[in-house]
Amino acid sequence: MSAGEKILVTRRGSLGLVTLNRAKERNPLDQETAAGLRDAFLGLFADPQVRSVAVTGDGDAFCAGGDLRQMRELAEGDVEDAYLWPGAIVDLHRLMLEAPKPVIAAVHGPAYAGGMGLAGMCDVILATPKARFAMPEVKIGLFPMIIVAHLARSLPRKRLLEMMLTGESIDADEAHRLGFVSKVYPDRDGLMEGLDAYAAKFEAVSPAAVRLGRRAFTLLSDMPAGQALDAAQFLNLPFFLGGDLREGTQAFFDRRPPRWTTPDDELEKTS
**pLDDT tens string for the chain (271 positions)?**
555 689 999 999 999 999 999 999 999 998 899 999 999 999 999 999 999 999 999 999 999 997 777 777 777 778 887 788 788 999 999 999 999 999 999 999 999 999 999 999 999 999 999 999 999 999 988 899 999 999 999 999 999 999 999 999 999 999 999 999 999 999 999 999 999 999 999 999 999 999 999 999 999 999 999 999 999 999 999 999 989 999 999 999 999 999 998 655 544 444 4
Measured CA to CA, the distance from residue 114 to residue 213 in angstroms comes to 27
Question: Which of 5, 137, 193, 203 is an active site residue?
Answer: 137
Residue 139's closest CA among 119, 104, 165, 117?
165
Asked if 137 is an active-site residue, the reply is yes
Q: Report the first-to-last Cα separation within the chain, whole angstroms.
A: 43
**Res 6: pLDDT:** 93
**Res 263: pLDDT:** 57
Inter-residue contact 121 to 151 (CB < 8 Å): no
Calculate the CA 96 to chain-centre distance.
6
User: Where are the strands (E) in 101-231, listed by range?
Assistant: 103-107, 110-112, 124-127, 132-134, 170-171, 183-184
The amino acid that residue 139 corresponds to is K
User: What value does the CA radius of gyration of the chain take, rounded to a whole number of Å?
Assistant: 20
DSSP collapsed to 3 states, 173-202: HHHHHCCCCCEECCCHHHHHHHHHHHHHHH
Measured CA to CA, the distance from residue 250 to residue 81 in angstroms comes to 56
Residue 161's closest CA among 148, 142, 176?
148
* Cβ neighbours of 13 (radius 10 Å): 13
Inter-residue contact 36 to 9 (CB < 8 Å): no
Inter-residue contact 104 to 54 (CB < 8 Å): yes
Residue 245's closest CA among 202, 212, 201, 206?
206
| 25 beta partners | none
